[in-house]
Amino acid sequence: MKAMKILVFFLCCLPLKPALSRHSRYHAIFSLGDSHSDTGNYPRTEAVAFQVIKSLPYGETFFRNATGRCSDGRLIVDFIAEAFGLPYLPPYLAVAKGPHVRIRKGVNFAVAGASAINSSFFSAQKIALWTNDSLSVQLGWFKNLKSSLCTTEQECDEYFKKSLFLVGEIGENDYNFPALSGQSIKQLRALVPLVVGAITRAVSMLIEEGAVDLMVPGQLPVGCTSMFLTVFQSANESAYDNRTGCLKAYDAFFKYHNNYLKQELQNLREQYPHARIMYADYYGAAMTIYRSPKHYGFYGGTPRACCGGGGPHNFNTTAVCGQTGATACKDPSAFMDWDGIHFTESAYHHIAKGMINGGFTSPPLLS
Ligand SMILES: *[C@@H]1O[C@H](CO)[C@@H](O)[C@H](O)[C@H]1NC(C)=O
Ligand SMILES: *[C@@H]1O[C@H](CO)[C@@H](O)[C@H](O)[C@H]1NC(C)=O
Ligand SMILES: *[C@@H]1O[C@H](CO)[C@@H](O)[C@H](O)[C@H]1NC(C)=O
Ligand SMILES: *[C@@H]1O[C@H](CO)[C@@H](O)[C@H](O)[C@H]1NC(C)=O
Ligand SMILES: *[C@@H]1O[C@H](CO)[C@@H](O)[C@H](O)[C@H]1NC(C)=O
Ligand SMILES: *[C@@H]1O[C@H](CO)[C@@H](O)[C@H](O)[C@H]1NC(C)=O
């Protein structure tokens, strides 16, 4: 009992030992994106669609309290911060609302539900997003904060040269919301140039502001999520990948986005030869786990959410994680899928390892 208390104290109160301190080339991390990287902005906005993340079981595994993260614990950005011996990034909206928050080692601008394209594009089509804090709004926040981080151009250049910029993952919501409102995969394909254009404009803008090292993740295999498997279920067996149980057509679509993004990043590398633009293959890292879940300590079989309201994938649109009628599994570390759309801490940890030392970034994050 006493040992347990001490362990909890150590976990919560001491700075984490930098696992890769010898590689600590970064003194700060700045992150933009959506719910896969939001560390607490969404609950600090006026938006109300996704209130469930404000309470347990969200956060139950690591922080033992809800932090606004869409998982039971840490996210990829948290594991990357740990790897470079840096603190967990404070959410920008906590910084904006309180002078006590330390920002020198980085800030997180990501907001759950955010899109890469401006939200007005979707509202014009009567598609209601969960937030209007799209990528361009997050970039505006970064510009606002810049004068508090550094003043002269030389000082900013020196500081940003030692910073890592995570641009995403972003774009999944640009596809999910239209798909859930009935748009076909063919219609989604027409959005890809716009989504990738918004991402590459963000990368260019950050480089113009002084960023040198940028990591730009692609999409995850969203056709493997319990939400997609439930909402887009098919009686036709050939709709499913027989190795993973994932929806082939949706995964092929998200791969199409990734290939388009990779091409555009190559163009940016030619345009900005001094910058180090890394593509992060979230899809490949996650798919490796879906193909051999047991190897990573997960249950095998068809993907299933840890926290949900029943059904073959434990995803029920009328009882989602955090709502009445939904319950969380006993051991989230045995599940990849946390709430039907986001991953468990355990899955995010494996994906992060794929980025930090597993060869799923090109060029590599550590070199
Ligand atoms: C847990 O989170 C709630 C709301 O986010 C907050 O009011 C409370 O103080 C937190 N508790 C602890 C022990 O951190
Ligand atoms: C998106 O909104 C920003 C303001 O937040 C604006 O400056 C920009 O021009 C808009 N982009 C597009 C493509 O409409
Ligand atoms: C986003 O903006 C639209 C148009 O101004 C508004 O109707 C909607 O309520 C806003 N959504 C959120 C989540 O704030
Ligand atoms: C099942 O899907 C495949 C392609 O995914 C298609 O060729 C076939 O016609 C479909 N079968 C039925 C019965 O709809
Ligand atoms: C899985 O599907 C592929 C085609 O997509 C087929 O070639 C293979 O035989 C199938 N494997 C099993 C075990 O059904
Ligand atoms: C989904 O949740 C509703 C409300 O809790 C419940 O009535 C229904 O039986 C659930 N569906 C499944 C498939 O579990």
Neighbours of 63 (CB within 10 A): 20
Using CA positions, which residue lies closest to atom 8 of ligand 2? 136
Answer yes or no: is the C-beta of 173 below 6 A from any ligand 3 atom. Answer: no
The answer to whether residue 4 scores a pLDDT higher than 70 is no
**Between residues 27 and 301, the one the model is more confident about:** 27
Residue % of the chain over a pLDDT of 90: 88
The answer to whether residue 6 scores a pLDDT higher than 50 is no
pLDDT tens digit string along 48-93?
899 899 999 999 999 999 999 999 999 999 999 999 999 999 999 9
Q: To 10 degrees, the CA torsion angle through 343, 348, 350, 355?
A: 130
Distance CA(25)–CA(35), nearest Å, equals: 27
Ligand 1 pocket check: which of 42, 65, 69 to mutate, most ligand atoms within 8 Å of Cβ?
65
In order, the DSSP letters of 296-321 are GT---SS--BSEES-TTTT--TTS-T
Mean pLDDT of 235-241: 98
Q: What pLDDT is attached to residue 17?
A: 45
Q: Which of 342, 346, 349, 350 is catalytic?
A: 342
Atom of ligand 1 nearest to the CA of 68: 5
Atom of ligand 4 nearest to the CA of 237: 1
Distance CA(68)–CA(65), nearest Å, equals: 9
Is domain 2-362 given the CATH code 3.40.50.1110 in the classification? yes
Q: Which ligand is nearest to the CA of 316?
A: 6
Q: What pLDDT is attached to residue 25?
A: 87
Q: Which ligand is nearest to the CA of 247?
A: 4
Q: Which of 34, 78, 251, 339 is catalytic?
A: 339
Q: What pLDDT is attached to residue 255?
A: 98
The answer to whether residue 19 scores a pLDDT higher than 90 is no
Pocket of ligand 4 (CB under 6 A): 236, 238-239
Are the beta carbons of 169 and 218 closer than 8 angstroms?
Answer: yes
Q: Which of 31, 34, 35, 115 is catalytic?
A: 35
Atom of ligand 2 nearest to the CA of 136: 5
Q: What pLDDT is attached to residue 116?
A: 98
Distance 293 CA to ligand 6 centre (A): 28
Helix (H, G, I), strand (E, B) or coil at 333: helix
Answer yes or no: is the C-beta of 311 below 6 A from any ligand 6 atom. Answer: yes
Q: What pLDDT is attached to residue 341?
A: 97
Q: What pLDDT is attached to residue 315?
A: 98
Helix (H, G, I), strand (E, B) or coil at 12: helix
Helix (H, G, I), strand (E, B) or coil at 231: helix
Q: What pLDDT is attached to residue 102?
A: 87
pLDDT tens digit string along 309-360?
999 999 999 999 999 999 999 999 999 999 999 999 999 999 999 999 889 9
Mean pLDDT of 44-51: 91
Using CA positions, which residue lies closest to atom 12 of ligand 1? 65
Residue with tokens 């006493």: 2
The answer to whether residue 14 scores a pLDDT higher than 70 is no
Helix (H, G, I), strand (E, B) or coil at 167: strand
Using CA positions, which residue lies closest to atom 13 of ligand 3? 131
The answer to whether residue 3 scores a pLDDT higher than 60 is no
Q: Which residues fall within 8 angstroms of residue 96, CB to CB, at 6 or more apart?
A: 141
The answer to whether residue 18 scores a pLDDT higher than 70 is no
| Amino acid at site 60 | E
The answer to whether residue 113 scores a pLDDT higher than 90 is yes
Distance CA(250)–CA(220), nearest Å, equals: 11
Distance 186 CA to ligand 3 centre (A): 27
Q: Which ligand is nearest to the CA of 185?
A: 4
Is 100 noted as a catalytic residue in this protein? no
Using CA positions, which residue lies closest to atom 1 of ligand 3? 132
Distance 209 CA to ligand 3 centre (A): 29
Answer yes or no: is the C-beta of 65 below 6 A from any ligand 1 atom. Answer: yes
Is 147 noted as a catalytic residue in this protein? no
The answer to whether residue 265 scores a pLDDT higher than 90 is yes
The answer to whether residue 96 scores a pLDDT higher than 90 is no
Answer yes or no: is the C-beta of 118 below 6 A from any ligand 2 atom. Answer: yes
Is 241 noted as a catalytic residue in this protein? no
Q: What pLDDT is attached to residue 208?
A: 97
Helix (H, G, I), strand (E, B) or coil at 250: helix
Mean pLDDT of 125-131: 97
Cα–Cα distances (Å) from 56 to 10, 59, 307, 342, 346, in that order, read 22, 6, 11, 15, 17
- Cα 248 to chain centroid distance, Å, stands at 22
Using CA positions, which residue lies closest to atom 5 of ligand 3? 120
Q: What pLDDT is attached to residue 98?
A: 75
**Between residues 9 and 283, the one the model is more confident about:** 283
The answer to whether residue 273 scores a pLDDT higher than 80 is yes
Q: What pLDDT is attached to residue 342?
A: 98
The pairing of beta strand 163-167 with beta strand 28-32: parallel
pLDDT tens digit string along 182-230?
999 999 999 999 999 999 999 999 999 999 999 999 999 999 999 999 9
pLDDT tens digit string along 145-193?
999 999 999 999 999 999 999 999 999 999 999 999 999 999 999 999 9
